Copies of this chain bind each other. A is one copy, B any other.
Amino acid sequence: MDLISSLSLGELALSFSRVPLFPVFDLSYFIVSIIYLKYEPGSVELSRRHPVASWLCAMLHCFGSYILADLLLGEPIIDYFSNSSSILLASGVWYLIFFCPLDLFYKCVCFLPVKLIFVAMKEVVRVRKIAVGIHHAHHYHHGWFIMIATGWVKGSGVALLSNLEQLLRGVWKPETNEILHMSFPTKASLYGAILFTLQQTRWLPVSKASLIFVFTMFMVSCKVFLTATHSHSSPFDVLEGYICP
């Protein structure tokens, strides 16, 4: 009985790791990313007065992780823009969030139960991006540090580019950056990148599908809880307070 349940858990993880991300999960990723852009002060005026800058910021929010990873790995930094369908989907989301009559689309996707679903689906994409990034780095480059760095930037997305993204909007806050003040997703991406690197180099004796499944569950529950409680704290705070009192 135990064997069967473990088998089906392994199969569930395997099936889960094979669910295609495009278009539903990617759409959720774009929606949540561009909502966070709209939260930034001044972003609505920016979209009205400088639509090109606003669109570029939205693209950075959606594809910043690919741009940064391509820069690190020496590939064309606009490589991902060859996926025209993803770009069009993200552009459509940007248009609906900023220009929909009566702000209807924004109000719908910001309705908390709906938003929580999108937030959960965004984390599914994030974990998959970390895993794929580390797999790619392992095959084309060598060394632990390159694998961890690639996974980290793939998971953190636009956060590590925040100074550049702000500069594009005419905002400049040099006294802070994401590495000085890491948010929960950035920190979790770093830890996740370390775990997936250990898995890839066979130091962590679990299958990649299981790790994706477990880490996704962890990220989804944390982010949904943090979003539902409007909290900016981090589950790592307790641990960190214990290590560095």
Contacts and interface: CB of A to CB of B under 8 A. Distances in A.
A149 interface: yes
A161 interface: no
A182 interface: yes
A143 B83 contact: yes
A70 B180 CA distance: 25
Nearest to A81: B145
B73 A78 contact: yes
B81 A143 contact: yes
A152 B171 CA distance: 24
Given A70-B74, A77-B74, A79-B74, A84 B144 contact: yes
A52 to B, nearest CB: 6
How many copies make up the complex? 3
Interface string A197-219: 00000000000000000000000
Contact of A77 (B71, B82, B175): B71
A169 B75 CA distance: 27
B145 A56 contact: no
A78 B168 contact: no
Interface in A54-83: 56, 70-79, 81-83
Contact of A82 (B56, B72, B141): B141
Nearest to A172: B174
Interface size class of A (residues with CB under 8 A): 35 or more
A95 to B, nearest CB: 15
Contacts of A70: 74
Contacts of A146: 76, 78, 81-82
A71 B87 CA distance: 20
A177 interface: yes
A239 interface: no
Given A74-B76, A163-B167, 17 more contacts: A50-B179, A52-B182, A70-B74, A71-B77, A72-B76, A73-B78, A74-B74, A76-B146, A78-B146, A79-B141, A82-B141, A82-B143, A82-B145, A83-B143, A87-B143, A167-B177, A170-B174
